[in-house]
Structure 1
Amino acid sequence: MHLFHPPEDLEPPLAPPRFWVPLAVLVLLLGIYALTGLWLEARVDWPEVANLHCHYRACGWIALSKSGSLFRRSGYDLMYFAWMWAGPAIGLSSGVFVLVRRWWRRRQPS
């Protein structure tokens, strides 16, 4: 039993940079997206505009259903509306893309 292992016995790094760089970019973009939403929400006074008093998990869907009230105001309101709907739109379109691609690959002869 050796107290110190020689360098050749050490394990390789956790993952190559080709994994960490895209992950860092993704985390950075999600942080920018979240900070933009917080800034727009403060600028628009969002919960008070729609008379939204919600404190449970379904608040996101309720907020999306009441987001139509943002059309009657300024440009920041329209940007906040676009920001609110960007998340569900990207998620839904990504899911549809994955399902169509899976269906297309199964349809192709091997």
Structure 2
Amino acid sequence: PELLGAIAVAAYSYMALVPLIQPPIMRALTSEKERKIRMVQLRTVSKREKILFPVVLLLLVALLLPDAAPLLGMFCFGNLMRESGVVERLSDTVQNGLINIVTI
């Protein structure tokens, strides 16, 4: 619990740096031919699966890693809000305005 703040800052910092870190690593580890491969989606994911995934994931994490449950729970909650479509305005606010305020 006392490390949750530091871990959250490290996680958000890493996520913010992914667009800067990932491209050079991808270029170094793959050939140009591999990068040009077009991948098609095998099947469409149903709305039911999109809603059940965060719920099942959070239950498994809470059972196996209870200390990580609050952090992952917020990710699952945001995903659930977006996919359910019930709280569209709240989901839009969380994705745009609120995340900018919290980040600052």
- Provide TM-score, normalisation by structure 1: 0.24
- Provide TM-score, normalisation by structure 2: 0.25
Structure number with higher helix proportion: 2
